């Protein structure tokens, strides 16, 4: 076999093994969600209409919660699931599962996504310093919270944590039906956790929207890093 044929054969083998990694689609997704977040932040800081819109939603939900105690208790449970304890248990379980499965890269990315996301959220909260709904307006279960409001940590944390679960499920589960059901369930849980923060008036509506968009942006960036390393490095312990 001559050199030209040998080179062509090697090229074909590389093509079969997998398409080359490209940053373009990942950075497009990160930029798109980040643009929404930055725009939302600017509106919160400058627009009285946005603040009035948030206040009207909070007042409407306050009245609804007052008249429907069972619904209020349901969303209290949902908000607990999406809190520090629930998301820490999720992150720990996910990381340990990846470690025991010898998928060390995904374990590291799970830690980066969760811990890094929490630090990003804290930094932006302190920078924007948006005030939460007044304690008298909030549900009694969240009336004691005193840290800044924007973006919602529950919304951002659930987008990252459940998003990691979704990524792992889509990658490793067999069967389209199972993937579809789990995807729907996780997306619904993310939305419920976010809405619970609005329903209990722990956050303004735009706080939750900001948490979702920032969380999605950070998650996609972390997954892009994982995919890049997986495409360019040999498997760890036989797996990636």
| Active site residues per annotation | 154, 203
d(CA 197, CA 185): 19
Q: Which two tokens stand for residue 139?
A: 């549900």
d(CA 215, CA 237): 31
**CB-CB contact of 151 with 130 (8 Å):** no
Neighbours of 7 (CB within 10 A): 10
Residues 6+ apart with CB under 8 A from 87: 114, 157, 158, 161
Neighbours of 137 (CB within 10 A): 14
């Amino acid at each position: 076999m001559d050199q030209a044929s040998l080179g062509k054969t090697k090229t074909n083998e590389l093509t079969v093994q997998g398409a080359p990694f490209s940053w373009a689609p990942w950075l497009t997704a990160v930029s798109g969600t980040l643009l929404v977040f930055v725009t939302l932040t600017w509106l919160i800081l400058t627009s009285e209409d946005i603040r009035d819109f948030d206040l009207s939603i909070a007042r409407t939900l306050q009245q609804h919660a007052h008249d429907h105690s069972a619904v209020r208790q349901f969303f209290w449970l949902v908000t607990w699931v999406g809190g520090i304890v629930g998301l820490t248990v999720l992150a720990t379980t996910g990381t340990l599962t990846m470690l025991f499965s010898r998928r060390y890269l995904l374990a590291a990315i799970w830690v980066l996504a969760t811990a890094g996301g929490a630090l990003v959220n804290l930094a932006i909260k302190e920078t924007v310093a948006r005030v939460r709904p007044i304690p008298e307006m909030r549900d009694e279960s969240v009336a004691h919270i005193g840290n800044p409001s924007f973006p919602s940590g529950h919304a951002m944390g659930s987008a990252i944590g459940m998003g990691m679960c979704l990524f792992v499920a889509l990658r490793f589960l067999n069967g389209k039906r199972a993937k579809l059901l789990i995807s729907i369930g996780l997306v619904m849980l993310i939305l419920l956790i976010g809405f619970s923060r609005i329903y209990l008036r722990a956050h303004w509506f735009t706080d939750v929207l900001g948490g979702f968009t920032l969380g999605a942006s950070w998650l996609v960036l972390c997954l892009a890093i994982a995919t890049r390393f997986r495409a360019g490095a040999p498997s760890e312990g036989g797996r990636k």
